[in-house]
Amino acid sequence: MNPNRILKEYFGYESFRKGQYELIEAIVRGQDVLGIMPTSGGKSLCYQIPALLMEGVTLVISPLISLMKDQVDALRESGISATYLNSTLTVQEQRTRLEEIRNGEYKLVYIAPERLNTVDFLNIVTDISIPFVAIDESHCISQWGHDFRPSYKEIPRFIRRLNQRPLLGAFTATATEEIITDIKEILKLDRPLEIITGFDRPNLYFGVEKGIDKKKYLLNYLKNHSDQSGIIYCATRKEVESLAKELRDKGFSVSMYHGGMGNEERKESQDAFLYDQSLIMIATNAFGMGIDKSNVRFVIHFNMPKNIEAYYQEAGRAGRDGENSECILLFSPQDVVKQKYLIEITDMQQEREQMVYKNLQTLVDYCHTHDCLRKRLLEYFGENTDWEQCGKCSNCLDHREKKNITLEAKKILSCVYRMKESFGVTMVANVLNGSKNKKVLELGFQNLSTYGIMDDYTTKDIQQIILFLVAEGYLAMTEGKYPVVKLTPQSVAVLKGKEEIFKREDINEIENQTERAVHETLLKDLKALRMKIALEKHVPPYVIFPDTTLKEMAMYLP
Ligand code: ADP
Ligand code: MG
Ligand code: ZN
């Protein structure tokens, strides 16, 4: 049988999606593959169809225990013999399945990575023929990714133990260079056919909302989408719990999910959402990899995540059925502070830390740009578009008037220059505003010719403009905990009068709301700092800070 017939007869589809045929064909021909397709792109078929075309058993390594059963059930319904091995089985079930695998009863075996190097499994796989091993969600092997699973590192050892090296197929929706390099190197893919299909998700609307009262916005949004299913992502467990409570009190049908909940509780909550018993899922980033709920109509990020990759994966859980859906990121400067603290309390090498900061900044830029958001996202994944405007993102649809800010930009750029490109956004804004801040005076900046030349603006407004200039490339920000504002080649063009800059008016934040938010942030920062100290000193936090329990502190984690 050929792939086209299998597609029709077993799966009931008329034609292949982008990349599917090429990948299947390569595998059947005997070449390793690396398939990079967006969420919902149809990666599963790329290993399921070859499995049917090859002698022996195909192994599918997947971290998604909850999804294995669903996939296996679906395959069986289509008349394909498949099974799975993971920690949900009893010892007896496990034994039976292993025997069945030995007897050649299955074409496809899904297996969790932790099971690979167990004695029982190794005993069997050395007796049977395994022509092909598919590694789903293969970005989990890379420490650069946000979904790193230590058990994925066990895969190469397992492969080496097989009698014959099988063909390898790695599949992921992640397309960043470091991760792809890692996948190829760690798995030792042999001259793989590498296919990256387009990353665009045309049915998704992308929006960024800033300078808003997030709660008000959210409530309003939910009221206007009351019969729809959606996910709301928050940064920490604590925020998940408080938002869930608040929405429940207001009568919304809500489930929640975070890393601090027990397994049972999490599963119940996830099922309630998957089977539409509750419409809204409020969760940290612990929720979602591989979630195959087709009718998610919106994904709202109540807090900004840590990078574009994580954002696109999470947002991509909307509209898997191809229907119009919305992905909205609610931005506030406090979220950046929050993300930086999360970075700080994580132990990592300096090189990696720089990268993490840089990736964070790219997402901050996404939030401040006036460019088409879709274009920005696709460019991040290395895809060039032949259009400037998608017509379906909050920037393309924003027709508010733009103001010429070339003069302001020139003032800012020359101030950065005069401050020797050595200070952060706040300091630059303070100098331009003519602030009497102690640090400003100590450093003698009151003598700079640019001191106070923007005293008709608040420092906050100046900061907004600087962030916009960074987002558009007229300024750059160094990586690290205390980023410094630098000039770029584009700054020179502006200073020489070769380029004009236009910016939309920002909506002013409600002042006391902001004050309260800042106060809250400070409190949180304090806790995060305590946790950091505790971690550094290798002492349980409650020893140093008896008023704060470990459990309480864990609430500040995702
Ligand atoms: P991924 O793993 O890439 O996120 P899946 O393999 O889960 O995506 O596929 C997403 C959905 O698309 C599934 O419902 C699947 O049945 C469907 N699908 C896959 N390939 C095709 C195709 N060629 N034609 C129509 N639907 C397809
Ligand atoms: Mg998949
Ligand atoms: Zn657009």
**Protein residue with least CA distance to atom 10, ligand 1:** 40
Reference 38, options 185, 262, 216, 196; nearest CA is 196
Q: Per residue in 128-161, pLDDT tens? A: 999 999 999 999 999 877 788 999 999 999 999 9
DSSP, res 307: S
Check residue 553 and give its pLDDT. 62
Please give the Cα distance from 130 to 483 (Å, whole number). Answer: 51
Confidence of residue 556 (pLDDT cuts 50, 70, 90): low
pLDDT digit string (tens) for 23-64? 999 999 999 999 999 887 899 999 999 999 999 999 999 998
Q: What does the pLDDT read at residue 511?
A: 39
Q: What is the pLDDT of residue 506?
A: 65
Which atom number of ligand 1 is nearest to the Cα of residue 46? 6
State the pLDDT at residue 177: 84
Answer whether residue 10 shows pLDDT above 60: yes
Cα atoms in the 13 Å half-sphere on the side-chain side of 123: 6
Mutating to test ligand 1, I would choose from 6, 10, 11 the residue with most ligand atoms within 8 A of its C-beta, which is 11
Residue 381 main-chain phi, psi, to 5 deg: -90, 15
pLDDT at 240 over 70: yes
How many angstroms separate the CA atoms of 459 and 120, rounded?
A: 66
340, two tokens? 């930086």
Q: Mind listing the pLDDT tens digit for each residue in 90-138?
A: 999 999 999 999 999 999 999 999 999 999 999 999 889 999 999 999 9
CA 106 to chain centre: 35
Return the sign of the alpha-carbon dihedral for residues 469, 235, 150, 23.
negative
Separation of CA 510 and ligand 3 centre (Å): 27
Ligand 1 geometric centre to CA of 412 (Å): 50
How far is ligand 1, taken at its centre, from the CA of residue 41, in Å? 6
pLDDT in tens, 329-367: 999 888 888 888 888 877 778 888 888 899 999 999 999
The preferred substitution site among 6, 13, 289 for testing ligand 1, maximizing ligand atoms within 8 Å of CB, is 13
Q: Are strands 204-210 and 229-233 parallel, antiparallel or unpaired?
A: unpaired
Return the ∠ at Cα 115 (arms to 113 and 118), rounded to 5°. 135
What is the C-alpha to C-alpha distance for residues 284 and 323, in angstroms, rounded to an integer?
A: 25
Q: Is 90 exceeded by the pLDDT of residue 536?
A: no
374 Cα–ligand 3 center, Å: 5
| Cα 42 to ligand 1 centre (Å) | 3
Ligand 3 ion: nearby residues, β-carbon < 5 Å = 372, 374, 390, 393, 396
So what's the pLDDT on residue 510? 39
What pLDDT is stored for residue 350 in this prediction?
83
Ligand (nearest to CA of 397): 3
Residue nearest to atom 21 of ligand 1 (CA): 42
* Res. 206: pLDDT tops 70: yes
> What are the start-end ranges of the E strands in 367-514?
402-404, 475-477, 485-487, 502-504
- C-alpha to C-alpha distance for 335 and 548, rounded to whole angstroms: 23
Q: What's the angle, vertex CA 165, arms to CA 163 and CA 171, rounded to 5?
A: 135
What is the predicted pLDDT for the residue at 540?
53
In testing the pocket of ligand 1, which one of 39, 40, 294 has its CB within 8 Å of the most ligand atoms?
Answer: 40
Task: Return the residue whose CA atom lies nearest to atom 9 of ligand 1.
Answer: 42
**Is the pLDDT confidence value at 204 over 90?**
yes
CA of 159 to the centre of ligand 2 (A): 22
Which residues form the pocket of ligand 1, taking CB atoms under 6 Å from any ligand atom? Answer: 13, 16-17, 20, 37, 39-45, 292
Q: Give the containing element (helix H, strand E) for 169.
A: strand 167-172
Quote the ligand 1 centre to 44 CA distance (angstroms): 7
pLDDT digits (tens, 9 = 90+) for 466-525: 999 999 999 999 887 788 999 999 999 999 999 999 998 765 543 334 444 555 555 565
Distance CA 102, CA 490 (A): 65
Looking at residue 517, what is its pLDDT?
56
Minimum-distance ligand 1 atom for the alpha carbon of 43: 3
CB-based contact 87:65 (threshold 8 Å)? yes
Look over the chain and give the mean of its residue pLDDT values, rounded to a whole number.
89
Atom 24 (ligand 1): residue with closest C-alpha? 13
CB 110 within 8 A of CB 48: no
Q: Is the pLDDT of residue 187 over 70?
A: yes
Q: What is the rounded CA–CA span in Å between residue 211 and residue 333?
A: 9
- Confidence at 550, pLDDT banded by 50, 70, 90: low
